[in-house]
Amino acid sequence: MTAASELAAELSFFASADGDLAYRDVGTGDPVVLLHSGFADHRVFDDQIPALARDFRVIAPDIRGHGFSANASRPFRWADDLAGLLHHLDLGPAVLVGLCMGAAVATDTALEHPELVRAIVVSGAGTSAFEYTDPQLLERQARVGQLLAAGDLAGWLDHFAQGVAGPHRTPDEVAPSVIRRLRELTTHTLAKHTPGERDWYVPLGDPWPRVPKLDAPVLAIHGALDWPDSLAMANRFTDTVPNGRSTTIEGAAHYPNMEKPEEFNAILVDFLRSL
């Protein structure tokens, strides 16, 4: 049995209307849902899951098209997939913790299914209306798209490593274990897809007029070395909701939970215990 098949055997699966969605379900107590970044899977939170499971029930899904979850074959929305899983588990309201794309999944779900959400934690993004203005980041995103379209996995992984490091460092200045883990996760997800395949994801639409109506408390956990646009998106979200605040972790960029796991975990647990 391969390492991937051994891991899959440890996961649970929710039979959605469009294929099985994988998730980890560990611990007992109030539910906390960990939502990973794009191109990765639930293992982004390997340093959080055991720490949180001491006091909480931790649900860590693989978002559709990622990790061990099915690819889409019809239109879908992130919020509906997560709501379906929470209803399947008879859970809610839950605290949603989202990293980059996961932050967008969390906020979409809070807007569309507020009864399922107790609080929100975002890192590296805000709503699903991603806002990029930094020319350097816009150029990077365009290059990423070109590499994916060309099926150049090696080139994409090298470009991805700079995204992990942020604008203030080189990938060599990031712990090799972090870069290696993320390369493994993203390679696994990219292997599920082919260049030029149809994207069935349906955006929520402009969420911002609805954000001020969110009642759930919101915390943003920033990596101080993250891309300015990522910091700005998270800050706009915390500034727009009625009950939002932010905190910063020094010496980390887009993945503070992986670069500074003990500090990230302490901040997160303190927030969870305050609810």
pLDDT one digit per residue (tens) for the chain, 275 residues: 556 666 777 899 999 999 999 999 999 999 999 999 999 999 999 999 999 999 999 999 999 999 999 999 999 999 999 999 999 999 989 999 999 999 999 999 999 999 999 999 999 999 999 999 988 888 888 888 888 888 888 888 988 898 999 999 999 999 999 999 999 999 999 999 998 899 999 999 899 999 999 999 999 999 999 999 999 999 999 999 999 999 999 999 999 999 999 999 999 999 999 99
Contacts of residue 144, Cβ cutoff 8 Å, sequence gap at least 6: 156, 159, 160, 163
> How far apart are the C-alpha atoms of 77 and 207, rounded to whole Å?
14
Residue 74: the pLDDT is: 98
Q: Which residue has the tokens 């990938």?
A: 171
Q: Which residue has the tokens 């794009």?
A: 38
Are 231 and 253 spatial neighbours (Cβ–Cβ below 8 Å)?
A: no
Which residues partner with 76 through β-bridges?
201
> How far apart are the C-alpha atoms of 239 and 57, rounded to whole Å?
29
Residue 4: the pLDDT is: 65
Rg over alpha carbons for the chain, rounded to the nearest Å, is 17
> How far apart are the C-alpha atoms of 33 and 57, rounded to whole Å?
8
Residue 152: the pLDDT is: 87
Q: Which CATH number fits domain 3-132+199-274: 3.40.980.10, 3.40.50.460, 3.40.50.1820, 3.40.50.720?
A: 3.40.50.1820
> How far apart are the C-alpha atoms of 38 and 168, rounded to whole Å?
21
pTM of the model: 0.96
Are 95 and 127 spatial neighbours (Cβ–Cβ below 8 Å)?
A: no
> How far apart are the C-alpha atoms of 48 and 177, rounded to whole Å?
16
Residue 3: the pLDDT is: 62
Q: How far apart are the first and last CA of the chain?
A: 42
Q: How far is CA 28 from CA 21, 115, 273, in A?
A: 21, 21, 15
Residue type for position 114? P
For residue 240, count CB atoms less than 10 angstroms from its CB and return exposed for 0-12, middle for 13-18, buried for 19 or more: middle
> How far apart are the C-alpha atoms of 234 and 15, rounded to whole Å?
32
